[in-house]
Amino acid sequence: MSLELTNKSGALVPSEEVTSLMAFAIDYMELHPECELNLTFVDEIEMEALHIKWMDEPGSTDVLSFPMDMPESKVDVVTLGDIVIAPAVAERQALEAGHDRNHEIYILATHGLLHILGYDHADKDEEKVMFDLQESIVAKWKKSS
């Protein structure tokens, strides 16, 4: 997997762990191991600007995904897209959920990848599938690390 990870957030982020998680998730989802993915950490001001520009929604958010190429099969090497995460938002959500910030970042990165792969949570059934899958991927990655 080729992961371009950029941290423009000003916060410390678990770069090595997220890189490992994304490699694990790409393998878990049976994608070609040479697929490309970009992950950027931004501050809340930049996230709010992206949220307004691309989603036409006010305020900041935790994660945004920008899909590029959808692989047709396991042999396709494609640029999957971009994931953007706001660590400050992740920190607040982690406190509310009762787990640490890094775990929240792992969940958000996986959530972003699943959106790129076409998963959504617009209704309760889709939400259950997507959220169960992201939790499962993170848990299995942690056990394998």
Residue 21 has pLDDT above 90, yes or no: yes
How far apart, in whole angstroms, are the C-alpha atoms of residue 137 and residue 131?
10
| Neighbouring C-beta atoms of residue 52, cutoff 10 Å | 13
Q: What is the CATH number of the domain that holds 91?
A: 3.40.390.30
With H, G, I as helix, E, B as strand and everything else as coil, classify residue 68: coil
Residue 37 has pLDDT above 90, yes or no: yes
Task: Provide the pLDDT confidence category of residue 74 given band limits of 50, 70 and 90.
Answer: confident
Range of the domain at 73: 2-144
Domain count, the chain: 1
With H, G, I as helix, E, B as strand and everything else as coil, classify residue 99: coil
Residue 19 has pLDDT above 90, yes or no: yes
Q: What's CA 120's distance to the chain center, in Å?
A: 13
Question: What mean pLDDT is reported for the chain?
Answer: 96
Spatial strand order of the sheet with 2-7 comes to 2-7, 36-41, 79-85, 63-67
